[in-house]
Amino acid sequence: MSDPMIVSDPQVMMGKPVVAGTRVTVDLILEKLGSGESIEAVLASHPRLTREGVLAALRFAAQALRAEVVYPLSAKSA
């Protein structure tokens, strides 16, 4: 999982993965897109963020979920 656009530094956002050169976390991008915001709306809310950064966040998340980890889902969250 090494996309140079996604970095993690304990001094920035408590070490959460962020888009390089910003304080925009991968989880924030996923939350906004998952709630129905368009990429354009996310970009408008975060001027330092680029379309390439958003796409890098999506790739990072997809790679993270490919890891051999089981995420149990309850009936309420499914």
- pTM for this entry: 0.83
pLDDT in tens, 13-36: 999 999 999 999 999 999 999 999
pLDDT in tens, 36-72: 999 999 999 999 999 999 999 999 999 988 887 777 8
DSSP per-residue string spanning 20-56: TTS--BHHHHHHHHHTT--HHHHHHH-TT--HHHHHH
- Structural domains in the chain, CATH included, are 6-65 (1.10.10.10)
Residue 77's pLDDT is 54
